[in-house]
Structures are given as structure tokens and as C-alpha cells.
Amino acid sequence: MLTRAVQSYIDLRRAAGFALRSDERVLHDFARFAAEQGDTHVRTTTAIDWATHAISVHERDRRLKRVIRFARHARAEDAAHQIPPDHVFAAPRVPRLPHIFEPEQIRHLLEHAGKLGPAGSLRPYTYQMLFGLLPSCGLRISEALALRLEDVTADGLLIRHTKFRKTRLVPMHATTERAMQDYLRRRRAVAGPTPHCFVSLRGMPLSYPTVNRTFLAIVRALGLRAGANQPGPRLHDLRHTLAVRALEACPPDRVANHMLALSTYLGHTKLAHTYWYLHVTPQLMADVADACRSQIDGGAR
């Protein structure tokens, strides 16, 4: 019974535009666990017991929150479902600031990617283009990996049905466009009819785990990150770098106007998600302080 309720919940939210790939896996795991306990409805004790199997307090909190959201939905149709309390595993979290790459670091990253093996294969060109595209266009890695050949147009990159099924056109700088065309010429020569831009040695679409492992191996080789589970640059930080550098480059008195354009460019669903970048670097914080001071001084009587 819980399995059907979970699938109904997933189907409904997907119809509203949510992907929920992780939620589907996690909630079905909960449904199986609950069934083993003989439960046909969400039970608070079962949900908490299931959540404790996660390896960290943060992950336990995330698992339980997923069940809470599902339970609220299920209870609207069947009052026998219990809604577990929130904050059972809550622990204070220090927001993790992104690593903002310096231009020299990006250059070293691309140089290292260009030396990947096997020799004579498409692989070094693939990763060099992919890791260069993220900070130059601010794409999510999922968006870059989903690109198809027909999505590379004369007007830019057509990013199809991303978060909340939004589609947008992302312009490319002339240097990025030339690099992309050069890469695609090589890719068409060896990758056959596969429609995706970025492919593996077997001609299949690249997967995120494969790309992330390659990225981590490179940043470790460059000394930007220590061993496994150690802090350091993440793949998504290449996108963060574009956002922060774009804000740093605009005049302080135009940050508010620039913010809306950047939010649209990045494909954010809420402007607040873009304003988050303002506290990432000392320069941006100083710009905000200067703008506030000017506003106060200008309004002084």
C-alpha cells in the first residue's frame, strides 16, 4: 500500500515539474522498510528508525524530511498516516562557501584535462571542452551532459527542460563558440551517430559519476584538493565561478539590475538563489557595503 502511495506522490509532483530522481529511490526504500515492519501507513517510529540508518546526522535529517513531505501529501487522502516531527536530527549547518576559481587555476585544469589518456582518443578534448564550458557559460553539469548536437546553435546553447522543465538559450563568447565547433568536428569524426555532445570512449553519453571522478582526480593532481572526503573544489563550483565573476565585473550601483539578468542566464527559479552569491567574496561584500553607505548618505537630511 505504501509503495503505491509513494508512486502516486512521485507521479503527481513530476507532473508539476519536479524530477525527484533521488526522492523516488529514497521513498521506495522507506516503503520497503516499512512493509518489513508490517506497516501499511506512515508511522513516526518507523520513519525515525529508518532514517537512523543513514551515515550522518545531516543525511538522517534529509531522509526524514523527505518522508515528512510525503506523509503530508498522503495524510490529505488518508488520516491514518502519521506525520513525523521535524528537526529530530537537526544539527546546525555552516553554509559551505564555493571555491571560486582563479583564471590561472582554470587554465591549469584545462591543460591537465587535455593530457588525459588514452593517447589519440577523443577523451582529452571532451573533458577540456566540458570543463571549459561550465565556467564560461555557467551551466549546471547536468545541463552540459544533456546537450545534443542540435542544441548547439548559431545563437547559443539551447538548454532544454532543466529544473522545473524550463528551457533557455545561453549565448556563448566567441572564443567558447570556436572551441565548441573545433571539438564538435573532432567528435563527429569518431563518435558516430550518438546525438549527445559529450560522449565516453564507447560513444555513450557521459555520466555524472564518471565526470565527477575525473574532475576530482585532476584537482587533486593540481594540489587544489586533498584525498577522498576532504574539502576542496567541487564540479559545481565552476558554475559558481561564472556567477561570482559576473557580479564582480559589474558596477556596484548596477548590481540589482544585473542580478535579474544573471538569474535568468543561470536558469534560477527564484531571484533569492542568485542574491546568495553576494556574500561569497570579500569584493562583493564590500560592494554591497559601499552601495548601502551611498544610499544612506544620499538619503541623509
Q: Which residues belong to the active site?
A: 140, 163, 236, 239, 268, 277
- Report the distance separating Cα 182 and Cα 22, nearest Å: 36
φ/ψ of residue 223, rounded to 5: 80, 15
In this structure, the chain runs to a length of: 301
- Residue 196, classed as helix, strand or coil, is strand
Give, in degrees to the nearest 5, the angle at Cα 216 between 210 and 219.
140
- Measured in degrees and rounded to the nearest 5, phi and psi for residue 157 equal -95, 125
Cell readout for 233 is 573544489
Strand, coil or helix: what is 298?
A: helix
What letter represents residue 240's amino acid?
H
d(CA 294, CA 301) in angstroms, rounded, equals 13
Taking the CB of residue 277, how many other CB atoms lie within 10 A of it? 22
- 298 vs 65: CA distance, rounded Å: 46
Using alpha carbons, select from 84, 35, 26 the residue that is nearest to residue 54: 26
Residue 276: count of CB within 10 angstroms of its CB: 14
Strands (E), 81-173: 152-153, 156-159, 168-170
Cβ pair 28, 3 in contact under 8 A: yes
Q: Is the Cβ–Cβ distance between 57 and 89 less than 8 Å?
A: yes
Which triple of cell numbers denotes residue 21?
A: 530522481
